[in-house]
Amino acid sequence: MGEFKETLISGMKWTTLSAIVKSIVKLLQVSILTRFLPKSDFGTIAIALLYIGFTELFLDLGISSAILHRQDTTREQYSSLFWLNIITGLLLTVILWCLSPLVALYYQDDSLVLILRLLSLNVLFSSIGRQYQTIQQKKLNFKFLANVELITFIATFLIAVTLAYMGYGVFSLVYSTIFSIAFPNIIYCISGIHQDGNIHWHFKLKETFPFLKIGVFQIGASIFDYFSREFDVLIISVTFGRETLGVYSLCKKIVQMVYGLVNPILTKVLTPMFAKIQNEKKRLKTNYLRIIEILATTNYPIYILIAVLSTSILYNLYGKDYIEGQLILSFLAASYGLMSIASPVGTLQIALGRTDIGFYWTIFRIITNTLFIYVGALISINMMALFFLVYNVLVIIPFWYIQLKPMIRITLWEYLRSQITPFLISIACSAPFLCLWYDKTSVILSCITSVLYFLLYIVMLSYCDNNNFLMRNIRKFVFHWFEKKP
């Protein structure tokens, strides 16, 4: 347990640094770009990335999950997997290039042809370095991964802002996006070839079959999950227009930044570590419940605060023209708060080789989620966001029954107990600040409000839940630090 904890803390340290810098830089980037670009440009990029992101799902073929799961991969297998990625990347890039005019015709926007064709290069660049990135993750080399990501985030920010200032318009987003994919993957590839020497002129499709067998359910689940996750963007792009999509995508970007700040820290570290203890079910269950408690303790207060301060956040980040998205941001924040607690289940699926469960769950999710979003969209954009929240509340029990119960024999009460106290305290602490929901408060007042909210949350959680793992370790750290002071 000691070695597990030390590796977990070390990995979290580096991934936390990377995630914090990523969130801050992306927030600054979008905040600055909204001053240079119209809402419709963000809508255009949202449409393009919708199709690019879907195509990239076929690039991996579930191989990354299989590499993390299997502990006995040979040099020849690594080489065959690498060339399979390259071949797949080339084919998908050509397909995207050819289909770009059809997408542009559907949206009646000729500018999408060039944008889609440029962004299709991301698929090819991803195929070069994806495998080596996975290998570094499997080796628990989180320091190297974090350093590459840090350089990429800062450079992408500088490129995007500089090009926007120079008048490149929507192409400032296009070129910076290409760089954000190309640069790290080239680094991963060069580093991997130099260090591991696994890649040579060797390719046998038969050697990839064991990996594809594990990954087939993963890619199936990813495809359906992507459609379920991005169905809102597809509906808005067709129903409400480019400007509304621009506002919605920027609201969604805020909650996704928070989601990308906390959750990847754990999933990047836990996936390879859970794979190493995949045969110790009791230990898996204990650590999984602990992770859920940690996520609930950190995530619930953050997302609820975003929901309460939605008007102020939009006003200060994007300007007065984006305040119309206050309800959207509030509903999305609450939805992503619930989704963030469920996200670590993917680490269990990969570690246990049970991606089939994730596949079946995603089929259920895509059918039900699509129905809720579609019905909400028939009324208004705000109702669509509300229906999305209602859906995420209703699926908590089916999620436990279909996924967690079969994999680690966890009871519903154990799952809910690990997160219910932080949730209720977060709600209670937000009550005194609800009066600020309509106000366009300044940055300083918003910061003061946030500090007061978190202080109240910490005090109440410490008083109501003495056994909370995260709070208990924070107290130990603080007491130890004071004891060391002369």
Report whether pLDDT(68) > 80: no
Give the CA distances from residue 267 to residues 100, 262, 283, 329, in Å, rounded to whole numbers and listed in that order. Answer: 34, 9, 17, 25
Nearest-angstrom CA–CA distance, 270 and 350: 10
Using only C-alpha atoms, the chain has a radius of gyration, in whole angstroms, of 22
Which of 266, 402, 391 lies closest to 338 in space, CA to CA?
Answer: 391
Please state which of the ranges 107-121, 177-191, 223-237 shows the lowest mean pLDDT.
223-237
Q: What angle do CA 355, 209, 351 make, to 5 degrees?
A: 30
Distance separating alpha carbons of residues 40 and 173, to the nearest angstrom: 13
Query: Distances from the Cα of 384 to the Cαs of 32, 326, 413, in angstroms?
Result: 28, 14, 31
pLDDT in tens, 398-428: 999 998 888 888 899 999 998 999 999 999 9
pTM above threshold 0.95: no
Distance, in Å, from the CA atom of 315 to the CA atom of 319, rounded to the nearest integer, reads 5
Q: Quote the pLDDT of residue 20.
A: 78
Reported confidence tier of residue 1, pLDDT bands at 50, 70, 90? very low
What pLDDT was estimated at residue 301?
Answer: 93
User: How high does pLDDT run on average in the chain?
Assistant: 80
Name the residue with higher pLDDT: 365 or 61.
365
Question: What is the DSSP-derived secondary structure letter of residue 363?
Answer: H
Q: Which tokens in the block code for residue 99? A: 């289909």
Instruction: Give residue 6's pLDDT.
Output: 61
pLDDT at 442: 73
pLDDT in tens, 24-67: 887 788 888 887 878 788 888 788 777 777 766 666 666 666 66
User: What region does 411 belong to: left with phi over 0, alpha with psi -120 to 50, or beta?
Assistant: beta
CB 225 within 8 A of CB 362: yes
Locate tokens 């859906």: which residue? 391
Residue 305 reports pLDDT greater than 50: yes
Nearest to 139 by CA among 193, 71, 189, 218: 71
Q: What is the mean pLDDT of residues 131-142?
A: 75
pLDDT at 413: 93
High-pLDDT (> 90) share of the chain, %: 17
Alpha helices in 166-241 (DSSP H): 170-195, 209-239
- Check residues 9 and 453 and name the one with the higher pLDDT: 453
Q: Mind listing the pLDDT tens digit for each residue in 182-208?
A: 998 898 888 877 776 666 677 787 777
Q: Highest-confidence range of 100-114, 335-349, 377-391, by mean pLDDT?
A: 377-391
Per cent of the chain over pLDDT 70 is 80
The predicted pLDDT at position 263 comes to 66
Residue 390: per-residue pLDDT: 95
Between the CA of residue 289 and those of 142, 268, 283, 340, what are the distances in Å? 23, 17, 10, 14
Position 381 pLDDT exceeds 80: yes
Q: Are 401 and 419 in contact (CB under 8 A)?
A: no
H or E stretch covering 90: helix 75-107
